[in-house]
Amino acid sequence: MRQQDRAVHRCLALADVVLPSRVAAPSPYDSMVPTPATVETVLAGVLGQLGEKGRVHLEHSENVARRAGIQPVDRRPDAP
């Protein structure tokens, strides 16, 4: 059993839900790409279910993060 498969197998014993993902990369190091991609996918699904209320909440959270200096300012012309 590959090391990655063993890690998922251990998670299955502890978690209600496991969302495995993989990225093929020409690197000998583990990639963190699957983690934010999975989080973004789950967040998009949650926001889709929450509708306008979810969008407003996320926008408020992003504005708080910008004011706190932990998220860059969005400089697109159509940005809130």
pLDDT at 4: 60
Over 60: is that where the pLDDT of 9 sits?
Answer: yes
Instruction: Give CA separation, 39 vs 2, 20, 23, 28, 43, in Å.
Output: 24, 11, 15, 24, 6
pLDDT, one tens digit per residue, over 12-38 is: 888 888 887 777 777 777 777 888 888
pLDDT, one tens digit per residue, over 36-72 is: 888 899 999 999 999 999 999 999 998 899 889 887 7
Q: Left if phi > 0, otherwise alpha if psi is -120 to 50, otherwise beta: which for 69? A: left
